[in-house]
Structure 1
Amino acid sequence: MKRFFALILIFALILSIFPNAPLKGASYVPTGTFAFKEGSSIFKIDNFEKKLDVAPILKGDMLFIPVRAVVEELGGTISYNPKEKSISITLNDTKVNLWVNKSTVILNGKNDEIEMPILKNGRMLLSLKDIVNLFGGTIISSNSFELPKQLVEAYDTTGRKIIVPKKINKIVSLYPMATLLLFPLKKEDCIVAIPTAKVFNMDNFSKVFPKAKSIPDGSSFKDPNVETILKFKPDLVITNATTPIKKIVEVGIPVALLDVESVSGILKSIQFLGTILGTPTEAKNALIYLNSKLNYIDSKTKYLQNKKKVYFALGRLTQTAGSSLIQNEIIARSNGVSVTSTLKGGKVDVSIEQILNYNPDYIILAPYCNDTVQSVLSNSVLQNVNAVKNKNVYVMPQFIGSYDLPEPESILGIMWLSNILYPNEVNFNLKNEAKEFYKAIFNYNLTDEDLKYILGS
């Protein structure tokens, strides 16, 4: 018996010394997948079609490929020295020097041999096999292969230092609202997986993004599944700042946390994503447009003396937004006064008596609220509340998502609410504004049917 317990103690000691084995993929490195075709000026990188100025050449059974196109698509650097007729390439820790009409190369300071390069129209072509061997990739077929991407440092919106590919083509989104931030950047085609949480109207989302319903499930921001994420070979995972990302980071997957629970956070996230996705101009244009609407509202309403008091109902009339939720900021940016802004937390339950004490001028119901405008107006207990007496009870609009959610459409929610609160001062033509918004942010032309869905008849 003593021997038995001794063996158990030894086994426990071994377990304490050697931690659990890491998940498969602990050495994960983002890669680019290339496909070329002999004589074709079109090639694919991560399923995106690109053009070549020199087509690949088949010599014997080996395909020779313009090396510059490969290196640049991976985010590496390549330069030509006309005096020495040499090419220098840097891709992460790999440094390669090649010469025209020489089969000798210098790989990380050491001589190596490759197939004789081909020079065509000023471009150097290397065999597929040599490109893969030089840069540590994997051959998939006679005309396709994978290579590691150039990695760079960045800081996400929470201030975390992250290592991401310089060229990002494959994005897994774990947070629904983060997904929509890719649209003003014209990067929605990079989405390879979306979250399981279904907070969008998928029929409307599919109008804006036709392949939305066919994009696979990438798991949830609340409980991310690392094995599922790895299947998509992502360059980047985007999610909100509260996501438990420890396991994702441990396997080496680049993760950017986005602080999107406020309007300022949404704007900051658009700027950040524009930087790391290589679309700073698109980000700048979107921010100029969105800020112009917010600034207009502020200029028309900030000096008003009698600010309207607003109560926002979430899932039901007696459930409202505490100080940490974006609904308070939507009201504040409309220059209304949220009567629940001092309540701590997120979703907060209140009593009818509290609503009576708040005596709001306006009651706004989320579109997912169980109560209706009619049920509130006909509630006998609420008849002395200003909002009910003056019939100022409204439902927040929605299209892809509800306009009170932390995503770009919340800007339209602010425009709508400011128009409700201060029609004489703000006076937006909401139909025209909605058309302009969806074209500018989602590159989508609203139909009359869409407008009726958003604003009613």
Structure 2
Amino acid sequence: MKRVLILFVVFYLKIFSLEIVGDYVVGEKGEKVKLKEYNRILIYNFGAVEIFYKIDAEKKIVAIGNHSKAIWPEEKTKLLPLAGPISKPSLETILSYNPDLVIFNVMGEVKNGLDKFNIPSITFVNRSLDDILKNIDILGKLTGREKESLNLIHELEIKREYIKENFSLTGKALVLYSDSPPTSFDKNSLPVEVLETLGLKVIQPKLGKKSIISSEYILNENPDYIIGTRGVKSVDGIVKSMPLIEETKAFKNKDIYVIDSSEILRASHRVFDEIEKIYFELKKEKNQK
């Protein structure tokens, strides 16, 4: 009995994004939808929107959530109907589009309300490059675009290997989620994996998922790179928020950067292009010094 329980717990914990279990797709919050082709899909996950266009499934989209930043391909997505905020979507608005599937962002859902109308919904988030590949496969199955999704996965796998073999940075990197206070990104996060793919050793205090960076830590680790994302707006903001940062190799060599993480955190297939862009951005800065 104990062994069965342990196996169940391990299986459950592995469901971080989308998983196929029998004839169903299981989502981030335990939702189950029938594994079949859907034709009227309302999307609050912007990474999914971009993937839909890449696998030629855009005709399945009836509307998307409100957004403040451009979604690729902007010339087409800007014409899509808007279905309200992703965090607190209106049940009435959702129903007005008569969807046969709703894809939620992890930040919000109205699943209980949809159940009353027999409208399936699912939630997912891409926390890793492997998550992106796996979810492309599943979205291909849910849209009847399996061939296109498999072709895209193959293309991205080749691209990842090419990046690992041809683009390389060395040294330790500290990745900041915020500079007020200076807080590191979760070790198991996509921005961290992106930098590790480029060969950097990403460091983080062993104090929870997002840890405040102390003066002692920054001196002991002495990172070669300090990279701000998410809530970090400027290099000056990083410098002012971190006492003794002047003693680090990153400061002395001017290897402190702020990278727009919106494309990475959206976590579509375009993340693989962003890895290359980050590499060349850092190399360009390095070559100009």
TM-score by length of 1: 0.49
- Cα 1:268–1:241 change in 2 (3 A) is farther
Per the TM alignment, residue 397 of structure 1 is displaced from its structure 2 partner at its CA by 4.8
Q: Supply the distance in 2 between the matched residues of 1:405 and 1:333 (Cα, whole angstroms).
A: 18
The aligned counterpart of 1:162 is 33
CA–CA distance in 2 between the matches of 1:312 and 1:277?
36
The answer as to 2:160 corresponding to 1:294 is yes
What amino acid does structure 1 have at the position aligned with 2:256? V
SS at match of 2:150: helix
CA shift digits 1:419-454 (9 cap, x unpaired): 567x6xxx9xxxxxxxxxxxxxxxxxxxxxxxxxxx
Any conservation in 1 of the 2:51–2:269 contact (CA below 8 Å)? yes
User: 2-side partners of 1:213 and 1:173: how far apart?
Assistant: 14
1:176 maps to: 46
Aligned to 1:320: 184
1:381 has 2:260 as partner: no
Mapped partners of 1:259, 1:308: distance in 2: 29
Structure 2 residue aligned with 1:330, among 181, 194, 201? 194
Runs of 4+ in 1 over 6 A off after TM superposition: 377-380
Residue 128 of structure 2 aligns with which residue? 262
**1:310: Cα distance to partner?**
0.9
* Cα distance in structure 1, aligned partners of 2:141 and 2:48: 16
- 2:78 is paired with a residue whose SS is helix
Query: Hey, what's the Cα distance between the residues in 2 that align with 1:352 and 1:212?
Result: 45
Query: What are the within-5 Å matches in structure 2 for residues 214-363 of structure 1?
Result: 214-241=79-106, 243-244=108-109, 245-300=111-166, 307-316=170-179, 318-340=182-204, 342-345=206-209, 347-363=210-226
Q: Which amino acid aligns with 2:201?
A: V
Paired AA for residue 361 in structure 1: D
**1:230 Cα deviation from its structure 2 partner:** 0.8
Q: Which one of the candidate residues 234, 238, 254 is aligned to 1:371?
A: 234
Alignment partner of 2:204: what SS? coil
Q: Distance in 2 between matches of 1:183 and 1:371?
A: 33
Normalising to structure 2: TM-score of the pair? Answer: 0.74
> What is the aligned length?
259
CA distance 1:191–1:309, shift in 2 (3 Å): same
What residue identity is the alignment partner of 1:411? F
Which 10-residue stretch deviates more, 336-345 or 281-290? 336-345
How many angstroms does 1:243 deviate by? 4.3
Larger strand percent: 1
Partner residue of 2:65? Answer: 195
Superposition deviation, residue 276 in structure 1:
1.7
**Gap regions ≥5 residues in structure 2:** 1-22, 285-289
Write the distance in 2 (CA, Å) between the matches of 1:366 and 1:310: 13
- Judged with a 3 Å threshold, the aligned counterparts in structure 2 of structure 1 residues 190 and 343 are, in CA distance, closer, same or farther, namely farther
Q: Which residue of 2 aligns with 1:209?
A: 74
**Structure-2 residue corresponding to 1:186:** 56
CA distance in 2, matches of 1:341, 1:330: 19
CA shift at 1:277, angstroms?
0.7
- Does structure 2 retain, via aligned residues, the 8 Å contact 1:173–1:193? yes
Tell me which structure has the larger Cα radius of gyration.
Answer: 1
Query: What displacement does 1:219 show?
Result: 3.4
State the one-letter code of the partner of 1:295.
Answer: E
Shift of residue 341, structure 1, vs aligned partner: 7.2
Structure 1: which 5+ runs fail to align? 1-152, 428-457
Q: Structure 2: which amino acid aligns with 1:162? A: V
Please identify which structure carries the higher helix content: 2
Distance in 2 (alpha carbons) for counterparts of 1:409 and 1:259: 15
Distance in 1 (CA, whole Å) between partners of 2:274 and 2:33 is 33
Cα distance 1:367–1:220, how it changes in 2: closer, same or farther (>3 A)? closer
Give identity over the alignment, percent: 25
Retained in 2: the 8 A contact 1:316–1:371?
no
Q: For residues 169 and 326 of structure 1, do their structure 2 counterparts lie closer, same or farther at Cα, with a shift above 3 Å needed? A: same
Counterpart contact for 2:194–2:275, Cα < 8 Å: yes
Structure 1 contact 241–257 (Cα < 8 Å) conserved: yes
**What letter matches 1:402 in structure 2?**
E
* Structure 1 residues 374 and 229, CA gap change in structure 2 (3 angstroms): closer
Structure scoring higher RCO (CA < 8 A, sep ≥ 6) equals 2
Is the 1:178–1:240 contact (alpha carbons within 8 Å) kept by the matching residues of 2? no
Q: Secondary structure at the match of 2:75?
A: coil
**Taking structure 1 as reference, are residues 348 and 223 closer, same or farther at Cα in structure 2, changes over 3 Å only?**
farther
Name the SS for the 1:292 alignment partner: helix
Q: Distance in 1 between matches of 2:208 and 2:240?
A: 28
Contact 1:382/1:388 (<8 A) preserved: yes
1:408 and 2:274 aligned:
no
Structure 1 residue 228, shift from structure 2 partner: 1.5
Q: Is the 8 A contact 2:176 2:228 kept in 1?
A: yes
